[in-house]
Amino acid sequence: MTPYTMRKKARLFTFTAADAIAMSLAGAALVLPGAALAQDAAASIQAAGADAGGIEEIVVTAQKRVERLRDVPISITAQSGAELERRGVSDTRDLVSVVPGLTMQSVGATVQPSIRGVTTQLAEPGSEVNIATYVDGVYRPDPSVGAYDLPDISRIEVSKGPQGTLFGRNATGGAIQIFTKDPEFTPTGNITLGYGNLDDRTAKGFLTGPVVADVVAVSLSGSYQKHDGYIRDLFLGGKAGRLESKSVRGKVLIKPTDTVKLLLSGYYSDRFDENGETFQPLNGNTLARVLDPTSIIPTRKRETASNQRGEVSVKSKGVSLRATVDLPFATLTSITAYDKLRSRIILDGDATSTNVANYNVSGRNRDFTQEFNLASNSDGPVSWIAGANYYFDKNFFDPNVINPGAVFIVAGVTTRSYAAFGELSYKLTDRLSLTGGVRYTHEHRVADAVFSFGAPPASVPRLGVKNYNSVTPRGTVKYQVDDDSNVYFTYTQGFKSGVFNLFSLNPNALKPEKITAYELGYKTQVGRRYSLSAATFYYRYTDQQVNALTNVNGIPLTSVQNAASANIYGGEIDGSFAVTKEFSFRAGVSYLHARYDKFVNASVQVPTGLGGNRTIVIDASGFEEIRSPELTVTLTANFEKEFDAGKFDSSVTLYHSDHYFLDTGNRVRQPGYETLAAQASFSFAQTGLRVGVWGKNLTNADVFVSNLISDLGDPVQYGTKRTYGVTVGYSF
């Protein structure tokens, strides 16, 4: 433990778990005495039609109030937990196959979603991704836990485009909201066990019931997964690419009156994952080829020869309190949350048996959130929502050790963000309505960073301080064509916070990213027969934060620069159709044109010809944005049938992606590919017993899941080939 680490335990982290709980209770006291939780409303409406066959009526909270999906003038893909399970989605990285326009890639351990070409390459402390992720309404900033297991999901909502008014900072590309199951007053439970190839073992369960009838209910959920590696290790032997993940979540629901609900939640997660950190040099391009002619360099896909096996270990825990109150004129909600995370990342930057650049990173993150919002509940022509948000985060590498013992880096960013927001909607006529909203955000960011050689640093000096102020408006016009359909036009803005070049020891922070977006859309749903949403959009993207490189004693480290500007436009269609009560299908198509408009000083890596890359500056104007496939298509067919003996349920999902690039210079290319996922199950009548079979990537597609392109070479990792297995479940 470094002296800095010991002092940090004493003074750096402002909030403790006890502080968070105390502030949670204080927030609840301010709210008391609230309407039904959004999760409850959504679950009840979905459940009402669950046995009716056809298309579900989806309810969302994308505008921080309970609304039907078809009524919200935002492009949203929403899926219930049952539908996600049916389509083989077990963690957030699987969402690409069911959400048009979404791509999931990693730079090392950092999971970086892309929606409509808006993404990030950054992995330094304080450089959160620009697709904001929320779990039960709580912002989760650390990208090293961007791969979330989904064992107890009520639903997922993916909102596309800037969400700068209601969600604020770092939602320039959109927001991914994950809602877990809440306690119920009727005792229910389920457990599922599974086994698949790669010796994949899974177990998950959910249990809920009352403690005090109609007043207090509790729930407990947990999951466990472990599988062997799928990557042949030519140097250390055996298989790499292993996974072991376990999590537990508990909730207490308290309804002291008919107008008040309190939901106290706590979770713990422990994930060990070699996916994203087990590299091989693409096409053999590595600096080790020059430095060591005896170096072992993999030549086949899904091989590695790293002298240090890559991994990411993340332990996180947190507590939150949501208090919701029905007032005569509005619903008042308070969300208070505290999270703590520790991570360890190990990787080999040259991806060979030669020790050129090994990285061993210890990370710490703590964050605290307090939000209040007040939403009107009138049925009149005027509706509104107003709120305030406070956010605190401290994210540090402590330390990042390079070539064990040679270089020590302690660096991090402390963020305090204050925001106030509001939206007002007015019905000019029974069919025409206008919405206007604005959010003001003030952000104070402090960076600390130091390099030391041969020994840990004794102290960490202040690098820089930066304040940001941002105003992000939104305006919408919606016209109700008939009782089942509407058209809308939306203008909105979003911003991603500016960042520091910690590894360049540069005290001057970068500019924030900003997006101005225009969207024209159409939505309809006719009973349970079919639903359709379509949208076309145009984004003006300025000051985009992109990777450059810096060197410390010849070892490449991430640096950051502002690109000049980019133009993004495209269109999407997402629809479901029930052919019969038993058979339905869903289709989604996304077309995307994402190009740098002006980027004359782009730092890119090009091969030296002997091994490894060199960094040059080019004019990248007109180049494609990274992770931006021009066309993606998802097709799902569902079939279910009731028999005297029970119910048969099956689903097949085909996903296609055009090619896209992993680097600014458009050199490292993910070829176009197709994946196929399928599952079938049978639930035995009157027993609660369910058995099933499943398969993923049945087409054996070769898909990159991670890369670490630098002057050292082109390390990449391929995802798994075909996987399959069986499940057995019991519910009551």
DSSP state letters, 32-85: ---PPPHHHHHHHHHHHTTTS-S----EE-TTSS-EEGGG-SS-EEEEEHHHHH
Helix (H) or strand (E) holding 7: helix 3-11
CA–CA separation, 516 and 610 (whole Å):
44
Token representation of residue 425? 């909607």
> Who contacts 347 (Cβ-Cβ below 8 Å, separation ≥6)?
108, 109, 277, 279, 308, 310, 358, 359, 708
CA 337, CA 474: separation in Å to the nearest integer?
27
Cβ proximity of 494 and 514 under 8 Å: yes
Query: What is the mean predicted confidence (pLDDT) over 627-631?
Result: 96
> Is residue 37 scored above 50 in pLDDT?
no
Report the distance separating Cα 472 and Cα 700, nearest Å.
Answer: 44
454-466: average pLDDT: 92
Sorted by sequence, the CB contacts under 8 Å of residue 468 that are 6+ apart come out as 441, 442, 443, 445, 497, 498, 512
Position 17 pLDDT exceeds 70: no
One-letter amino acid for residue 275 of the chain:
N
One-letter amino acid for residue 712 of the chain: L
Whether cis (ω within 30° of 0) applies to the bond prior to 33 is yes
pLDDT in tens, 74-122: 999 998 888 888 887 887 788 888 898 899 887 766 788 999 999 888 8
Q: What is the pLDDT of residues 174-199, one digit of tens each?
A: 999 999 999 999 999 999 999 999 99
Distance CA 459, CA 11 (A): 14
489 CB-contact burial (10 Å; exposed 0-12 / middle 13-18 / buried 19+): middle
Label residues 301-312 b or e (16+ Cβ within 10 Å = b).
Answer: ebbbbbbbbbbb
Q: What is the mean pLDDT of residues 396-413?
A: 89
E-state strands within 146-187? 153-160, 174-180
For residue 671, the number of C-alpha atoms closer than 13 Å in the C-beta half-sphere is 5
| 3-class secondary structure, 504 | helix
Return the number of other C-beta atoms located less than 10 Å from residue 554's C-beta: 9
- Which residue carries 């009838």 as its tokens? 213
Residue type, 706: S
Give pLDDT, residue 39.
44
Q: Which amino acid is at 652?
A: V
Q: What pLDDT band is residue 2 in, cutting at 50, 70 and 90?
A: very low
Q: Please tell me whether residue 96 adopts helix, strand or coil conformation.
A: helix
263 band by pLDDT with thresholds 50, 70 and 90 = very high
pLDDT at position 169 is 84
Query: How high is the pLDDT of residue 558?
Result: 67
Per the omega criterion (within 30 degrees of 0), is the bond before 3 cis? no
Distance of CA 691 to the CA centre of its chain: 30
* Predicted pLDDT at 565: 86
- pLDDT band at residue 28, thresholds of 50, 70 and 90? very low
Tell me the two tokens of residue 602: 């782009």
Q: For the residues 265-285, what does the mean pLDDT come to? A: 93
CA distance 625 to 170: 18
At residue 15, the pLDDT reads 42
3-state secondary structure of 122: coil
Interior angle at CA 140, CA 47 and CA 367, nearest 5: 130
Question: Which of these ranges, 51-55, 299-303, 710-714, 717-721, has the smallest mean pLDDT?
Answer: 51-55
Residue range 211-229: average pLDDT?
A: 95
CB atoms within 10 A of CB 320: 23
Cα gap 532→523, rounded to integer Å: 6
> What's the pLDDT at 147?
61
Check whether the bond before 399 is cis (ω within 30° of 0): yes
The pLDDT, as a whole number, for residue 57 is 79
Helix (H) or strand (E) holding 11: helix 3-11
**Neighbour tally for 671: CB within 10 Å:** 12
Q: What percent of the chain has pLDDT over 90?
A: 67
* Cα–Cα dist 108/102, whole Å: 19
CA gyration radius for the chain? 25
Contact criterion met (CB below 8 Å) for 599 and 623:
yes
CA 612 to chain centre: 32
User: Quick one: average pLDDT of 559-579?
Assistant: 89
Work out the mean pLDDT of the chain and round it to a whole number: 88
State in Å, rounded, how far the first CA of the chain is from the last one. 49
Query: Buried b vs exposed e over 35-47: b needs ≥16 C-beta within 10 Å?
Result: bbbbbbbbbebbe
Q: Is the pLDDT of residue 267 over 70?
A: yes
Amino acid at 368: F
Tell me how far apart the alpha carbons of residues 105 and 657 are, in angstroms, rounded to a whole number.
Answer: 13
Of the ranges 27-36, 400-409, 722-731, which one carries the lowest mean pLDDT score? 27-36
What is the third-level CATH fold of 3-731?
A: Maltoporin; Chain A (2.40.170)
Q: How confident is the model at residue 6 (pLDDT cuts 50, 70, 90)?
A: very low
Query: What is the model's pLDDT at position 143?
Result: 63
Phi, psi (degrees; rounded to nearest 5) at 452 = -140, 155
Q: Is 18 helix (H, G, I), strand (E, B) or coil?
A: helix
Q: Which two tokens stand for residue 688?
A: 């609660």
pLDDT value for 555: 65
* 3-state helix, strand and coil shares in percent for the chain, rounded to the nearest 5: 10, 60, 35
* Residue 53 confidence class, pLDDT cut points 50, 70, 90: low
Beta carbons of 4 and 457 less than 8 angstroms apart: yes
- By CB atoms closer than 10 A (0-12, 13-18, 19+), residue 323 is buried
Does the pLDDT of residue 43 top 80, yes or no? Answer: no
